[in-house]
Structure 1
Amino acid sequence: MENSPTSGQLKVLRSRVYRGPNVWDYGPAVHLLVDLGELEEFPTDKLPGFTDALLERLPGLSEHTCSRGHRGGFVERLREGTWLGHVAEHVALQLQQEAGHDLRRGKTRGDKSRPGVYNVIFGFYDERVGVAAGELAVRLVNELVVPTDDFDFTTELDQFLRLAGRTAFGPSTAAIIDEAVSRDIPWTRLNQHSLVQLGQGVHAQRIRATMTSRTPALAVDIAGDKNLTATLLGSAGLPVPKAVTVRTADGAATAAGRIGFPVVVKPLDGNHGRGVILNLQTEDEVRRAFPLAAEQSRRGIVQVESFITGKDYRCLIIGGRMAAIAERVPAHVIGDGTHTIAELVDITNADPRRGVGHEKVLTRIAVDDAAVELVREQGYEMDAVPPKDEMVKLALTGNMSTGGISIDRTFDAHPDNVEIAEEAAQLIGLDIAGIDFICPDITAPVRETGGAICEVNAAPGFRMHTHPTVGEPQFIAKPVVDLLFPAGAPSRVPIVAVTGTNGKTTTSRMLAHIMKSLGRKVGMTSTDGILVDERLLIKADASGPRSARMVLQNPRVDFAVLEVARGGILREGLGYDRNDIAVVTNIAPDHLGMHGIDTLEQLARVKAVIVEAVPRDGYAVLNADDPLVRAMRRRCSGTVVWFSMEPPGSRVRDFIDEKCRRGARAVVLEPSDRGEMIVLKQGRRAMPLAWTHLLPSTFGGTARMNVANALAAAGAAFAAGAPLHDIRQGLRTFTTTYYLSPGRLNRVEVNHAEVFVDYCHNPPGMHRLGEFVEGYVRQRQGAADHRISRIGMVGAAGDRRDDDIRELGRAAAKYFDVLILREDDNLRRREPGVAAALVEEGVREAMADGARCRQVFTVLHELEATRHAVHLANPGDLVMLCVDQHAAVLAELERFTHQANAGARTDDEQPGDPDLDPQQLATAANEASAADDNEWRAAAAE
């Protein structure tokens, strides 16, 4: 251990895949949290032979610039000494380079709280390849430090490259995607093969290889029936060979005699040239060929047609216009006078451009029985040495999939031939068609030379045109994308991302409501589920990246409002590449101590990801009252729209007014003797929007949190281009009813008491909710004929820190006379009753310090706690239920209402009075709590 480690290993503590912008990078990336252990003491300059061994295995690393900014910069770092986490990053990138993925995005950062632990981040194009590259990179680094007998890098690299080949798009799909990316059209892979969505929402188009969402299914069926295709083309006067369909070998022989030899036998509905046998001269040859063709036919039907002599040309027609022409030369080898035919095949297959199937631009030549027989017909055996420059065919058809090559002839074709090919594609009805010509020379009219159209293909391959063996490549993906997205056609839907600690769900709903009034089909994600055009598609916590992708794939959506939670960003990043508008409501202590987020500054850094995802022509709507949110302006590439609750003359308002004088936008409050007015400011213009007390969601202006949410929603709608009168109308018609805003300040009347249902679950939210209770009671107290008591039901999520849970109790005790403590259904790894006990500790600490609360009960089950809170209320009292399952609670409240209206309440269910003997109330509540606690413990034990 004095000079080198003997057993140290780089260990992966955690692996994450970010599928969009994230806290580390602007694009998709793999994140490895690695622990160097004792290797922290051994940078590369202290590992004898490490650098040379690494460069021997991956010479491409010498091209990496690293932080030096010039070729060979990374090698310099290796020689000078760098840590192995940094090495693993570069190895993972180089492995992807070996697989043909040109990537240079990567970084390695140490964990300040844990020496020897590093965050290794590197980009990827294909997720599976990126993950595999990271795994192999770590294994290679460890192998070079301490060699083992069970690791062969050559074998491992070969397996990795095979994986990359299997997951890679074929040349046709890749060409279309590359063209789409060059036009800033987003794309999403929908399966493990070649089904891809281009664009978003209502603008989305789909492709599968070269078949598009605009390809008519009927045209594909017609093209798949070769006999029907020939009949339709022939009836239109286009040159086609004579053809007959048969089901038996005898029928094929009879048809061949009727057509006249030589003939071709092919499967009626085959593809890629499989089962096609050419130039058959006798009935016996036809009978022998029949089973080979029938084997490749899905329906067992074979077509016999006249053999047209000449060269094989593929004309690619896109959108009714000729895009490219290639001459296809069958698989063959050229003699050199030295090597046998078998050796020449091996030499040809060694070409790096050749692969298996369609994975590369050329296909390896397969030597099967048909190839051997064809060679024999040319007077050779496979072990024969053909004369120099003599061509020996190994296939009769010129299909690329059987090992053929292509020669570009795009600008050589005679105009008559081009017109015939275009007309054939239009007759069949294909938007993208491959027209196969057989003729002596494409430069001469086929009607004069005796050529014909032998096939019309749906979903034709592009690689013979994009990567011709001889000639210039044709950029044929451009007309395909032009077909799907004509000039000026949009491919993206506007995306508004909303984040923050509190208020993001209500802000999202307000904005969606405004845009709905404009006739937009809004797709929205939130903690309550996924909604499209106000229809609930999925009921779940849908504030993560997967839900965002579901909305953007929905073909009805033309405007997306996405609630973005901290957890989703940390887990997978964003579910898209950028958002047009980012809204940040506030940053407050919640979820701290989870996933490495311990401070408000770290939490703000996570939520700022949506601000960093704003393009130059986008907007960030930021809460100027929150210093952490205000600082996010430095991370925004677009325009900032400020919103503030601060009055004129305050420091924040002076800041905003100064920005507006320079042309900025803002949404602020302007007080007057008639109330507060929401005002939109742009430059020196001030545009009144609405009185806060006239907005139903603010309950006469007392719900200050909803005033702030309205400011944020108005700013986002203004940035999205909504007219002022539509923004005003949207805010005036948005209410906190269960239909528009489930679980967010929903008001119902139960037994003549006012009951509010809200999702409040953290101390900052409780303070905002408590301020509403103060203002609302103060507003009502003058008209009440008795003192209004305040009854609250609260509960804390079990995954919060103990101090945060106690703080929730302290905050609640400040605003309510009576508190009922409950727990969520999901205890989040806590024992039943533990979270409620922590809340009670906070409540009693506050009560000891003189807080408003006078009584506290623990009723763990939410519905039982709801019943208890309602039973305690007198007519006119206010009950605030902070719930977990709002639907169940609202249903229970509805049951109470129906019972009251039907007169079904028993004496035992008469409402109580918190001002009565506290001992009586405490005894009843504790009995209910004990019974409920025993029931939940039994359930947990089961």
Structure 2
Amino acid sequence: MSERPTPDLSILETRVYRGANIWSYDKAIHLVVDLGSLEEFPTNTIPGFTDNLLQMLPGLREHSCSRGKRGGFVERLNEGTWLGHVAEHTALALQQVVGHDIRRGKTRQVKGVKGHYNVIFGYADEQVGLAAARLAVRLVNHLVQADPELDWEQELESFILRAERTAFGPSTQAILDEAVSRDIPWIRLNQHSLVQLGQGVHAKRIRATMTSNTSAIAVDIASDKDLTTRLLGAAGLPVPKQETVRSEDQAVRAADRIGYPVVVKPLDGNHGRGVCLDLQNEQDVRGAFPIALEQSRRGVIVVESLIIGKDYRCLIIDGRVAAIAERVPASVTGDGTSTVEQLVDTANADPRRGVGHEKVLTRIKVDSGAVELVREQGFEMTDVPPDGQMVKLALTGNMSTGGISIDRTYEAHPENVEIAEEAARMIGLDIAGIDFICPDITEPVRETGGAICEINAAPGFRMHTHPTIGEPQFIAKPVVDMLFPPGATSRIPIVAVTGTNGKTTTSRMISHIFKGMGRKVGMTSTDGVVIDERLLIRSDASGPRSARMVLQNPRVDFAVFEVARGGILREGLGYERNDVAVVLNVQPDHLGLRGIDTVEQLADVKAVLVEAVPRDGHAVLNADDPLVREMRRRCSGQVVWFSMEEPGSETRDMIDAHCRRGGKALVLNPSERGEMIVVKHGPREMQLAWTHLLPATFGGRARMNVQNALGAAAAAFAAGAPLHDIRQGLRTFSTSYYLSPGRLNEVEVNGVNVIVDYCHNAPGMRMLGDFVDRVGDSLASSHELARPSRIGVIATAGDRRDQDMRELGEIAAQHFDVVIVREDVQLRGRERGEVAGLVAEGVRAAMEAGARCKQVEEAHEEIVAVRHAMARANKGDLVVICVDKHAEVMTELEEWSSQAQAGSSASSDAPAADPDYAPASTES
């Protein structure tokens, strides 16, 4: 052990999971940290560490940690725990300082690497969580050895201010809290207050307190105070006399006509900015005009009669009064000893007051207007008001200027309530803030001389949810009721498909079934994002960002997501949960990447989908795969099995027992007429379809698509599709290029049978090889004179292990007479020719061991490899092309076919047709 610790804690890697992931059921931040020499120094060996940490972040005393009780983490600190664990709790405590009640976290050592730890903790706001992680590491290092550049108070204040900049306002947060309590999902659409509630076709949007239902015309009317007053006056509602002006002289003449005292305010202002009250003469009006003009966006000023009374805000939601608050302007009350300035400082020291909307009250701002108002009351800021004397610092009661609120919801006179509701209807706002000035809201304003002075679109909720005096009103409830009436749906069904092979085809089958039922399906796959049969984005879209894109689309009422292990490891799932999770298989592929070195670890990644199934959801699992079968223990919902095993096998016995308990399963029952897909639900058995009559199975020879069809049918059944719709979907789904591009597409080119597929790994090649053998045998039986040749064009991605590449070649050699090895456009860190060389090594090794293959060649460019394979092929031969860019390959094949039909194959534009062209060939 070193004699003294040094501040070596550092962050090696940062990942942000935006959905369920391998570490947590919810979104989380994942740090890989290196303790360096601190690996030798748990907390109990560092003098003063625990006391100083608790002094800086006293909230850590509340952390239970693994002890499950208050103070559990402090016990761990005193007993000695490693500093990666401390960083986790520090990041959580920092988020709690800014009001994010996050308690989820864990720290685990990176296997096989001393001093490296995985630190995982939850977050509410991504940017705040990342900032908390960085500051937590700095603080831990500072407590190990003081950093002269770290001023903790300043750093903490900067962190709080950063959190305030990205935090939702109190109105938005109140709506979101209510939505979450009803299990309504939400997505933040920008860095401000634009939020989507619900998914797909059920989605609604809010921005602060404006909603998808808010009329743009109504907002324009409300922002035009002159027009608002005229409309309300025309409806017989009480409003002050009012005129609009553009110059100081016009304002004076208008005030003379209306009669003093008057109010001068901007036509299109908000939050009480630029409002000048109780103007008694021409001089006051001229002094107020530039103040109002500065806050006016269009240069139009309103002059209106002054209504004497208290300031009340009536909140109208969906046509009904939801809350009423009396707004009291910012003021202080003398104590006989303190100056006005000191009284303001004391008021601002109230922990309920903050900057802007960060807290329930806003700090009182002393500007020139406030100083002048104090002077008009006979005081200077340095004077000491008498005990009990109230000194106003603002004339308007806006919360944003430091005012306070008193709840009056249940005190308003029914006639005043009716007037407020009628005013909102006249303007057309679904959520409106009606500002009343009247002596007493408990008396009818028509009798007491009150009036409506303003109507606000997007009114703030803070004065109602957090009144200074009185009971808070839960006004987010009627807002969410308006957007999602009781019983309304906010979620669309989500079916997520994963597995090593078959994900894309199965996703397309499921999508095809539900498209046939009239659903607007949003699908993501390795080929792109498809919305209602329209390809919107052509790219690998099997990650979380593409899933969120589908959930934001307002046309989608059913989602099918292909989920790859890369997206899960990189960002987690792009959504909260899936109604149906389909796991097809788990085979060794992409091992050695992102800490996944074994097939068991890969299964843990795939199992994230199963863990994201709710209690009323289903996990569709391949009972024939032992690793998939074990995932049943991670499912909170029901398990639906599918299996290709014959009756009497151990797997089928397990499925039969499952169904006797009321479970569901899809199995194959063989007979003399073929294999029948059977749906089992409890004691019932329902025939679905013959496998050999499904186009995608090539008469039952494509066993991988028999398995995919089982998985797709099971998923559709679990999602509630009727059997006849599932049957029709499977019968009409084919592997044509238009329905399933790049997945077992069959074309005939000049008498040559060509199969185009995306096979790219050893397990997939094993299944494709089985299909090639079955198809090849049928072709051989139809040719009496010569056995047709099998030519394979194969490749794999550069981010696989060397042994995986060699294995791909070894398997391919068992099924093809000629193997042509190409490479992808993206080499993924390899040198050109390196991947092809490794695959070719595997082919040659198998050839030496007596494999079927007689010749292996390398043609690195895809189109060159395709041309070479087609040039070698004779009529009746079978050519299998494992593609990277399937569209380009199909175009090339069409070119071959069209040139043959035109009799121009010998032209200079024809594809290369030299059968001896063999770059880097090897023959046995």
Name the counterpart of 1:585: 584
Give the AA of the match of 1:210: T
Establish whether residue 839 from structure 1 lines up as the match of residue 839 from structure 2. yes
Name the counterpart of 1:433: 432
Name the counterpart of 1:774: 773
Name the counterpart of 1:934: none
Name the counterpart of 2:104: 105
Establish whether residue 469 from structure 1 lines up as the match of residue 471 from structure 2. no
- The C-alpha deviation readout for 1:299-326, integer Å capped at 9, x for no partner, is 1001111110000000000000000000
Name the counterpart of 2:264: 265
Instruction: Determine if contact 2:267/2:296 at 8 Å carries over to the other structure.
Output: yes
- The C-alpha deviation readout for 1:17-39, integer Å capped at 9, x for no partner, is 11111000111111111111221
1:897 is displaced (CA, Å) by 1.2
1:362 is displaced (CA, Å) by 1.3
Residue 924 of structure 1 aligns to a residue whose secondary structure is coil
Q: Provide the C-alpha distance between the structure 2 equivalents of 1:76 and 1:609, rounded to a whole number of angstroms.
A: 33
1:747 is displaced (CA, Å) by 1.1
Name the counterpart of 1:860: 860
Name the counterpart of 1:228: 227
Name the counterpart of 2:527: 528
Instruction: Determine if contact 1:499/1:563 at 8 Å carries over to the other structure.
Output: yes
Check 1:912–1:247 CA distance in 2 against 1; reply closer, same or farther (3 A cut).
Answer: closer
Name the counterpart of 2:830: 830
* Residues 711-860 of structure 1 mapped to structure 2, 5 A cutoff: 711-785=710-784, 786-860=786-860
Instruction: Determine if contact 1:4/1:46 at 8 Å carries over to the other structure.
Output: no
Give the AA of the match of 1:11: S
- The C-alpha deviation readout for 1:435-480, integer Å capped at 9, x for no partner, is 0000000000000000000011100000000000110100000000
Q: Provide the C-alpha distance between the structure 1 equivalents of 2:107 and 2:39, rounded to a whole number of angstroms.
A: 14
Q: Provide the C-alpha distance between the structure 1 equivalents of 2:776 and 2:921, rounded to a whole number of angstroms.
A: 29
Check 1:8–1:219 CA distance in 2 against 1; reply closer, same or farther (3 A cut).
Answer: closer
Establish whether residue 418 from structure 1 lines up as the match of residue 423 from structure 2. no
Instruction: Determine if contact 1:873/1:911 at 8 Å carries over to the other structure.
Output: no
* Residues 11-30 of structure 1 mapped to structure 2, 5 A cutoff: 11-30=10-29
1:924 is displaced (CA, Å) by 2.2
* Residues 520-599 of structure 1 mapped to structure 2, 5 A cutoff: 520-599=519-598
* Residues 294-693 of structure 1 mapped to structure 2, 5 A cutoff: 294-693=293-692
Check 1:276–1:790 CA distance in 2 against 1; reply closer, same or farther (3 A cut).
Answer: same
Q: Provide the C-alpha distance between the structure 2 equivalents of 1:41 and 1:703, rounded to a whole number of angstroms.
A: 58
1:156 is displaced (CA, Å) by 1.0
Give the AA of the match of 1:802: D
1:782 is displaced (CA, Å) by 2.6
- The C-alpha deviation readout for 1:715-740, integer Å capped at 9, x for no partner, is 00000100000000000000111111
Give the AA of the match of 1:900: A
TM-score under structure 1 normalisation?
Answer: 0.96
Identity rate of aligned residues, in percent?
A: 72
- The C-alpha deviation readout for 1:678-721, integer Å capped at 9, x for no partner, is 01100111000000000000010000000000000000000010
Residue 108 of structure 2 aligns to a residue whose secondary structure is strand
Q: Provide the C-alpha distance between the structure 2 equivalents of 1:379 and 1:412, rounded to a whole number of angstroms.
A: 35
Residue 207 of structure 1 aligns to a residue whose secondary structure is strand
1:783 is displaced (CA, Å) by 2.7
Q: Provide the C-alpha distance between the structure 2 equivalents of 1:883 and 1:550, rounded to a whole number of angstroms.
A: 27
Moved over 4 A (4+): 907-913
Residue 919 of structure 2 aligns to a residue whose secondary structure is helix
Name the counterpart of 2:82: 83
Residue 667 of structure 2 aligns to a residue whose secondary structure is strand
TM-score under structure 2 normalisation?
Answer: 0.98
- The C-alpha deviation readout for 1:556-588, integer Å capped at 9, x for no partner, is 110000011101111111111111110000000
Unaligned runs of 5+ in 1: 914-919, 930-942
Establish whether residue 151 from structure 1 lines up as the match of residue 150 from structure 2. yes
Residue 598 of structure 1 aligns to a residue whose secondary structure is coil
1:910 is displaced (CA, Å) by 9.7
- The C-alpha deviation readout for 1:570-610, integer Å capped at 9, x for no partner, is 11111111111100000001100111101000000001001
- The C-alpha deviation readout for 1:596-638, integer Å capped at 9, x for no partner, is 1010000000010010000000000000000000000000000
Instruction: Determine if contact 1:166/1:359 at 8 Å carries over to the other structure.
Output: no
Name the counterpart of 1:286: 285
Instruction: Determine if contact 1:795/1:836 at 8 Å carries over to the other structure.
Output: yes
Give the AA of the match of 2:790: R
- The C-alpha deviation readout for 1:122-146, integer Å capped at 9, x for no partner, is 1110111111111111111111112
Instruction: Determine if contact 2:867/2:912 at 8 Å carries over to the other structure.
Output: no
Name the counterpart of 2:876: 876
1:360 is displaced (CA, Å) by 2.0
Residue 583 of structure 1 aligns to a residue whose secondary structure is strand
Which region of structure 1 is more displaced relative to structure 2, 894-903 or 545-554? 894-903
Q: Provide the C-alpha distance between the structure 2 equivalents of 1:799 and 1:59, rounded to a whole number of angstroms.
A: 47
Instruction: Determine if contact 1:170/1:360 at 8 Å carries over to the other structure.
Output: no
Q: Provide the C-alpha distance between the structure 2 equivalents of 1:37 and 1:521, rounded to a whole number of angstroms.
A: 54
Check 1:233–1:788 CA distance in 2 against 1; reply closer, same or farther (3 A cut).
Answer: same
Residue 791 of structure 1 aligns to a residue whose secondary structure is strand
Q: Provide the C-alpha distance between the structure 2 equivalents of 1:520 and 1:617, rounded to a whole number of angstroms.
A: 21
Which region of structure 1 is more displaced relative to structure 2, 739-748 or 285-294? 285-294
Name the counterpart of 1:938: none
1:830 is displaced (CA, Å) by 0.9
- The C-alpha deviation readout for 1:507-559, integer Å capped at 9, x for no partner, is 00000000001111000000000000010111110000111111101111100
- The C-alpha deviation readout for 1:274-329, integer Å capped at 9, x for no partner, is 11111111122112211111111111001111110000000000000000000000
Number of residues of Structure 1 aligned to a counterpart in Structure 2: 921
Q: Provide the C-alpha distance between the structure 1 equivalents of 2:476 and 2:555, rounded to a whole number of angstroms.
A: 27
Instruction: Determine if contact 1:202/1:557 at 8 Å carries over to the other structure.
Output: yes
Q: Provide the C-alpha distance between the structure 1 equivalents of 2:54 and 2:24, rounded to a whole number of angstroms.
A: 27
Give the AA of the match of 2:752: A
Name the counterpart of 1:937: none
Unaligned runs of 5+ in 2: none
Name the counterpart of 2:139: 140
Give the AA of the match of 1:172: S
Instruction: Determine if contact 1:62/1:74 at 8 Å carries over to the other structure.
Output: yes
Q: Provide the C-alpha distance between the structure 2 equivalents of 1:167 and 1:206, rounded to a whole number of angstroms.
A: 19
Instruction: Determine if contact 2:312/2:441 at 8 Å carries over to the other structure.
Output: yes
- The C-alpha deviation readout for 1:639-691, integer Å capped at 9, x for no partner, is 00000011111111111111111111001000011000001100111000000
Residue 142 of structure 1 aligns to a residue whose secondary structure is helix
Give the AA of the match of 1:280: L
Q: Provide the C-alpha distance between the structure 1 equivalents of 2:733 and 2:2, rounded to a whole number of angstroms.
A: 72
Residue 386 of structure 1 aligns to a residue whose secondary structure is coil
Check 1:860–1:387 CA distance in 2 against 1; reply closer, same or farther (3 A cut).
Answer: same
- The C-alpha deviation readout for 1:324-377, integer Å capped at 9, x for no partner, is 000000111111111111111111111222222222221111111111111110
Instruction: Determine if contact 2:172/2:209 at 8 Å carries over to the other structure.
Output: yes
Q: Provide the C-alpha distance between the structure 2 equivalents of 1:538 and 1:165, rounded to a whole number of angstroms.
A: 36
Residue 430 of structure 1 aligns to a residue whose secondary structure is coil
